[in-house]
Amino acid sequence: MSRNLKTASSIFLFLFFFLISNSCKKDDDQWIPNIYVNFQINPNSTEFLDLNLIGGYTYVTGGVKGIVIYREDMETFKAYDRACPYDYDVEGSTILMDSSGLILVDTLCGSSFIITDGSVIRGPATRGLKQYRTYYNGDYLHIYN
């Protein structure tokens, strides 16, 4: 066998085993499905008393597993899907606010996320929460994707 053929065979075998071994790895974080979200609420109404104050939050229906809305300041709201990127498709998994009012926690896997930007504080999740767009005109808060 010629030297070039041996080298080509070795490279082929290396690439083959590399591709096989990487195709078997589980991607622990999953992409949250895109669910159409487009609604308005009045955060100053009695229905959403918790959003009347800076740092307040509430849960609403929508998205994959519901949405948590957080009032960051008088003009800024954050909205995240309550589905954890690690185990959103597992029954019993949902995102809840912890007692500090600043950290969102998955009830099943224990992943933690900061409320101000949805980024991961503690895994096993490695991707942040799915964030929805918000627009506040002083009266109504529009949440959409």
Task: List pLDDT tens digits, range 100-117.
Answer: 989 999 999 999 999 999
Number of residues written out for the chain: 145
Per residue in 118-130, pLDDT (tens digit) is 999 998 999 999 9
Q: Which residue has the tokens 């980024």?
A: 119
Q: How far is CA 102 from CA 24, 70, 113, 124, in A?
A: 37, 9, 9, 19
Could you tell me how many helices (H) and strands (E) the chain has, helices first?
1, 10
State the pLDDT at residue 26. 41
- Contact between residue 43 and residue 95 where contact means Cβ atoms under 8 Å apart: no
Coil, strand or helix at 44: coil
**Residue that is written with structure tokens 């929460």 in the block:** 129
Structural domains of the chain sorted by starting position, each given as residue range(s) with its CATH number in brackets: 38-144 (2.102.10.10)
pLDDT range class, residue 32, cuts 50, 70, 90: confident
pLDDT at 97 over 80: yes
